[in-house]
Structure 1
């Protein structure tokens, strides 16, 4: 039988692994573990003995609200208690939680009631978790089934900074880890200024043999072009799988054994090489676990109102690029959490969205029936508010696309990298169909703003539109994707200086290869306007009109006479 010290070591390692999994999925998970002798409401035979105490919350009033106790026999007890407070909100939450806990006796056979009573707004309950003989399975049961239900009842406290003491925060967790004897900080390879150097692919989703070499370390954008169905998405997926690994967090296979993907990437002055055949866990220091975000062509669905299991399945780092039903991390949850716990982060996010969407006046949190809602305020050309505040579901698709994708990006990367400013975020971000749902104004603005606010991120994106090229840096690498039966998907690196080209010239260049620039509706006897802008077209029309008015029959004869005399 294990000693209490050995059990504590296993518990700490188990919870640290859970913390890493939750952090990788973009969620918070904090805890503390300590040895105590507080067993006054457990079995009488256990009074006075030492126990391991697991806390997942802070202090509510004078005493913890819920925590776990583990004894030397690896039994796990759930303790819940609260003393009547003078605060109406605390008492209300306490009453509803107490009634819920009292219902657990008949609802969950996995919980064995030891003792429990409710007096006014005070309560005390103690349960033994009996779903398994293995303490790890008992912990999983609590974390996956019981704790989410408790969170539902205590959430009204989280939206008010007045009750922040109730919730463990990152600083408290880090302070605890400094004193935890069974915690060893991981040795992490510093991966700053990341950029792709080369890509080698064999037998992957229509790619028979593909080599892209010697990409410069300084480039912050790679743009892929090519016709529909020619394989741009396959190339993006190959890059993602090479950087991340052969399987995603949920265990789903990204690359089969018959395929091979090798990637070299710059990390500062070092070139790191990795490939899809090395298991992700075995090559963790080489993979971009905390520095990668990927986005497929369906970006309007966020992870609101779904179960935890669905989020874990549909929001892994690479899932969205490989599956059409992928969900983005809930940016509104990030906005609400940061509004109440990290106002500078909230202000940063709002400022970023306003720059990305010039028609957005503001984003604010409105509390209705004690539940916070995110409201979006749009403005007219004079800067006046157009609405009383819209819900996310009421926004136009272009707005939702940008808010959902960029919200996921800052949520996903910031929670993994623990930065204070978005400009400090590092990594590689892959986007399929960058221009999706966007007006040309926003197609140009999006890469401009992303380059400005995320200088340490490399963006790799596909597009069918020439407009995003008006907003990317001049040193952007252009890759043109083609496909044929014999060689499969191929990629050519283009040497085209698009910085001096208009959209028409970009369209007709090798970047897009679109030659049919004349509208089908043009009448045979009419001239095509070749001016650069529509303002020039209207100006020239006015000049021609004035010339025609001046050239009366008499003036025309006089002009012909002068020409002949010359």
Structure 2
């Protein structure tokens, strides 16, 4: 399941907004307070209906206060979030200002959630109840608090097993939840150790664990042999021959590594029957994808995520011109398919079709598309607020030159 369109009505500071999402990547840029996170929250609320309907899972919904648009100290009659998938499945979630008949009369008709529930019944719930094969869609939302890893101090209270629907537990809460991934990894390592003893071979591994290990080493080539150690309890990795607790790594490592471990473990938990669980469909939102990352990492993070999770739809926000530069490189690379390319650096770039990407400059009043249809790249006007810094530098340089010439 991938999303095609988001529509907001009277949601927070957005009286009306509709935007088309890229099937592989949607990039949202804008000043602080422009509403980028509001758009991610709206998508999470819309997807929350799915989680709420599935067995044993709950998804986020509207807050009791604060989500209905207010103007001149007066609340709108309602707020509504509408989503539509690439396959044409549409639904919406509604919150009323109150339950009066007058307010009800001011609310235009919507789609509701009937079609969504019918789809989930036929594609997930009924096959699950009958013990038949099905693919569980994965959704995840990573907010700026993901930099604070929730590392357990002891094994007390660890569950002994995991159900497939557990992959969606707290998946749309934007705060950090690394602990559930830690527990899953610990239990799967114990299961793997039992299999190795049974077969008397260390070559026996669990495909689900291998998927998470692949994700880690794909994003972090300098890290290897991720595993759980007990005394003290920690998630350890090897870097330059040294064993380190991930809590000892830099903020940049922790922020991205925690996300990758959490996402890959959720995908492995949701669809362990697949040859490659990382290739399952997923919708993932990341607020400030550049958070705590060095510029060199910012240049490669989108490409690495897209390559590691080849059927995941990423919806991300950023303030970074390096992210924009990197995205244009991937878009340009897709136009060079069929050319003789000598540069290994260019050949290694993931080609990204313009049809797979959407990019918007978000303001308090609208979301303006930044894709240049003719060029298949992001429009130059995107960097206007960054160019203002450069213009100031140029002015100071001109003053310096004028004084030198005088």
TM class by shorter chain equals 0.5 to 0.7
CA distance in 2, matches of 1:250, 1:308: 21
Asked if the contact 1:198–1:211 (Cα under 8 Å) also holds between the matched residues in 2, the reply is yes
> 2:381 — aligned with what?
509
Cα deviation, residue 198, structure 1: 1.6
Aligned to 2:360: 479
Query: Is 1:245 aligned to residue 49 of structure 2?
Result: yes
Task: Tell me by how many angstroms 1:495 deviates.
Answer: 2.5
Aligned to 1:421: 276
Counterpart of 2:9 in structure 1 is: 202
In structure 1, the residue matched to 2:101 is: none
Structure-2 change in CA distance of 1:233 and 1:498 (3 Å): farther
Is the radius of gyration larger for structure 1 or structure 2?
A: 1
Per-residue CA distance 1:234-290 (angstroms, 9 max, x = gap): 011112222332996557632668211111111xxx311011138879944557984
Residues in 2 aligned to 1:195 and 1:404: alpha-carbon distance in whole angstroms: 24
Q: Which residue does 2:188 correspond to in 1?
A: 338
Corresponding residue to 2:309 among 454, 460, 484: 454
d(CA) in 2 for partners of 1:195, 1:251:
18
- Compared CA separation, residues 376 and 352, structure 1 to 2 (3 A): same
In 1, distance between residues paired with 2:383 and 2:399?
32
2:90 corresponds to which of 256, 270, 273: 273
Q: Is the Cα–Cα contact under 8 Å of residues 329 and 411 in structure 1 kept in the other structure?
A: no
Separation in structure 2 between the aligned mates of residue 445 and residue 296 of structure 1, nearest angstrom: 20
C-alpha separation in 2, matches of 1:480 and 1:410: 30
Q: Secondary structure at the match of 1:428?
A: strand
d(CA) in 2 for partners of 1:425 and 1:240? 19
| SS in structure 1 at match of 2:144 | coil
Cα 1:373–1:317 shift into 2, 3 Å: closer
Structure 2: distance between partners of 1:335 and 1:240: 26
Aligned to 1:298: 145
Aligned to 1:405: 259
- Whether the 8 Å CA contact 2:212–2:265 is kept in 1: the answer is no
Q: Are residues 276 and 396 of structure 1, via their aligned partners in 2, closer, same or farther at CA, if it must alter by over 3 Å? A: same
Give me the CA root mean square deviation.
Answer: 3.6
Do the aligned partners of residues 282 and 440 (structure 1) sit closer, same or farther apart at CA in structure 2, a change above 3 Å counting?
A: same
Give the aligned partner of residue 239 of structure 2. Answer: 378
- Provide the rounded CA distance (Å) in 1 between the counterparts of 2:187 and 2:265: 11
Per-residue Cα deviation, 1:278-323 (whole angstroms, up to 9, x for no partner): 88799445579842111111112344438979xx9x9612222xxx
Contact residue 216 and residue 257 of structure 2 kept, 8 A: yes
Distance 1:392 1:457 in 2: 25
Hey, what's the Cα distance between the residues in 1 that align with 2:386 and 2:27? Answer: 17
Equivalence for 1:494: 370
**Residue number in structure 2 paired with 1:259:** 79
Tell me, what secondary structure is at the counterpart of 1:405? helix
User: Which whole-Å CA distance do the structure 2 matches of 1:439 and 1:348 have between them?
Assistant: 26
1:406-456 C-alpha deviation (Å, 9 max, x unpaired): 111122232123334233321211111111111122222221122112121
Is residue 280 of structure 2 the alignment partner of residue 395 of structure 1?
no
Change (3 A) 1:251 1:409: closer
Q: Matches of 1:196 and 1:480 in 2, distance apart?
A: 19
Residues 394, 279 of structure 1: alpha-carbon distance in 2 compared, 3 angstrom cutoff: farther
TM-superposed deviation, 1:209: 0.6
The answer to whether the 8 A contact 1:240-1:318 is kept is yes
Residues matched between the structures, number: 303
List per-residue Cα deviations over 1:389-412 (Å, max 9, x = no partner).
111221111111111111111222
In the other structure, the counterpart of 1:212 is 19
1:505-540 CA-to-partner distances (Å, cap 9, x unmatched) read: x7963356432214659544657xxxxxxxxxxxxx
Alignment pair present for 1:318 and 2:172: yes
Contact 2:48 2:61 in 1 (8 A): no
Q: CA deviation at 1:206?
A: 0.8
Please report the TM-score for the alignment, with normalisation by the length of structure 2.
Answer: 0.64
Q: Which residue of 2 aligns with 1:556?
A: none
TM-score (norm 1): 0.47
